[in-house]
């Protein structure tokens, strides 16, 4: 089967969806996803999305991101993300996304680990689902976008050193999708781990394909372990206990019910402390207590976490829960520049499969959704600019 498009996008998480929404409506766009449309990690994001609250917040937001990333971040990318945050939030609200409000009707902000002040917008504890579902609804309305589910990218098409589309398979059917521009937004690598918060089908396919074609990769060893997932002996994806739970005051406790770490330190530091505590106690988990958080706040801010834990036999309003670190996020990936361009002409990458340097060696909580949206939009705008320029050049050639 052969398909022709103006742009092909691999992945239907926030990066892929927002890129499609940001491309010109006169372009024919084909989007493919390995599973169903809602099985992307973007739907799983619990905590929230960061935003620059005001100009006075810039320096501290920048420093928080750099410090969490051990100052290995690409400074230009961090600046781009922060300064683009308010525009992103305006666009999301325009698409119908609802964030929690305070008593005055303004945005309510929460705080998570390694943030020096509250600057995170949220929708209960299902912020990713709130954002991604609205973006998906908007994309479904676009007449210029065709969506293919259960369609797995098997390779890119390379001709004369540039990308001219992708090869894919859907069941037994083989598909060649040719397009002047390609955006890889196929997610992370959690499916390669025994314990992960990711969907198991996210196995870093784009990374393997990029390596095969000699496309530049960066920091493949930068893998973030989330400190708190609900401990279980059951196989499969681990349920995330959001960073914002600790941001609202929850405690991490050892076997004797004692706190052993500052819960608001960066994720890698907290994870290391938990690992050491488990070794010291001779246990395979530690405990998280939400006792410092009022019951009403738990039920309003964390209803999904409350329900899931209850299904597992834990009432978080009355008892502590067992938690353990698990693979969560990939900070490395396919190297891209500030416009999300890879080292191969006409090939872009955005979201977790890319590495634009925002996160450095360790991602600051709730920067992932924002980073994906900002740089997906930049990829789309660069494609739009190049398409317009090519159209202008062709018109001038006809006149000559």
At residue 392, the pLDDT reads 76
What is the DSSP track for 253-312? E-TTS-B-S-TTS-HHHHHHHHHHHHHHHT-S-EEEE-TTS-HHHHHHH-HHHHHHHHHT
Sign, CA dihedral 273-279-281-285, equals positive
List 74, 119, 267, 363, catalytic entry? 267
Mean pLDDT of 26-44: 96
Q: How far is CA 378 from CA 23, 115, 226, 349, 394, in A?
A: 10, 26, 28, 11, 24
Domain boundaries in the chain?
A: 2-222+331-395, 227-327
The mean pLDDT of the chain is 95
At residue 400, the pLDDT reads 61
Mean pLDDT of 345-359: 98
pLDDT at residue 333 tops 70: yes
264 pLDDT tier (thresholds 50, 70, 90): very high
Q: Which of 344, 28, 295 is nearest to 184 (CA)?
A: 344
Q: What architecture does CATH give domain 227-327?
A: Alpha-Beta Complex (3.90)
More confident residue, 397 or 86: 86
pLDDT tens digits, 39-84: 999 999 988 999 999 999 999 999 999 999 999 999 999 999 999 9
pLDDT at residue 233 tops 90: no
At residue 243, the pLDDT reads 86
At residue 394, the pLDDT reads 73
Q: What topology is assigned to 2-222+331-395 in CATH?
A: FAD/NAD(P)-binding domain (3.50.50)
pLDDT tens digits, 183-206: 999 999 999 997 899 999 999 999
- Which residues share a beta bridge with 259? 253
Phi, psi values for residue 227, rounded to 5°: -65, -35
pLDDT tens digits, 100-144: 999 999 999 999 888 999 999 999 999 999 999 999 999 999 999
| Reported pTM | 0.91
Is 117 considered catalytic here?
no
């Amino acid at each position: 089967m052969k398909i022709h498009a103006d742009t092909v996008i691999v992945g239907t998480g926030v990066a892929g969806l927002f890129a499609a929404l940001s491309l010109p409506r006169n372009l024919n766009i084909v989007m493919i996803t390995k599973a169903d449309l809602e099985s992307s990690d973007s739907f799983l994001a619990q905590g929230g999305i960061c935003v620059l609250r005001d100009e006075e917040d810039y320096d501290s937001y920048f420093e928080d991101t750099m410090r969490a990333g051990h100052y290995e971040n690409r400074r230009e990318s961090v600046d781009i993300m922060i300064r683009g945050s308010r525009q992103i939030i305006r666009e999301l609200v325009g698409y119908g996304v609802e964030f929690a409000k305070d008593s005055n009707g303004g945005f309510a902000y929460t705080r998570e680990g390694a943030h020096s002040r509250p600057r995170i917008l949220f929708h209960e504890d299902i912020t990713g689902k709130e954002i991604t579902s609205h973006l998906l609804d908007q994309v479904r309305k676009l007449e210029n976008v065709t969506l293919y589910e259960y369609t797995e990218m098997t390779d890119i098409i390379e001709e004369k050193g540039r990308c001219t589309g992708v090869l894919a398979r859907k069941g037994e059917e083989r598909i060649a999708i040719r397009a002047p521009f390609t955006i890889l937004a196929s997610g992370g690598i959690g499916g390669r781990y025994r314990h992960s918060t990711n969907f198991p089908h996210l196995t870093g396919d784009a990374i393997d394909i990029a390596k095969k074609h000699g496309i530049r990769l960066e920091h493949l060893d930068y893998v973030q372990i989330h400190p708190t997932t609900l401990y279980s002996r059951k196989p499969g994806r681990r349920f995330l206990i959001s960073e914002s739970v600790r941001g609202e005051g929850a405690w991490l406790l050892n076997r004797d019910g004692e706190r052993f770490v500052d819960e608001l330190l960066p994720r890698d530091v907290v994870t290391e402390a938990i690992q050491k505590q488990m070794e010291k106690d001779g246990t395979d988990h530690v405990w998280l207590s939400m006792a410092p958080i009022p019951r009403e706040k738990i039920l309003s801010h964390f209803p999904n976490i409350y329900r899931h834990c209850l299904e597992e036999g834990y009432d978080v309003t009355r008892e502590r829960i067992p938690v353990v670190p698990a693979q969560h996020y990939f900070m490395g990936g396919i190297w891209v520049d500030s416009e999300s361009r890879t080292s191969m002409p006409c090939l872009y990458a955005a979201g977790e499969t890319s590495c634009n340097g925002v996160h450095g060696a360790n991602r600051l909580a709730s920067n992932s959704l924002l980073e994906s949206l900002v740089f997906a939009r930049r990829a789309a705008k660069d494609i739009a600019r190049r398409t317009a320029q090519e159209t202008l050049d062709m018109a001038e050639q006809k006149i000559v």
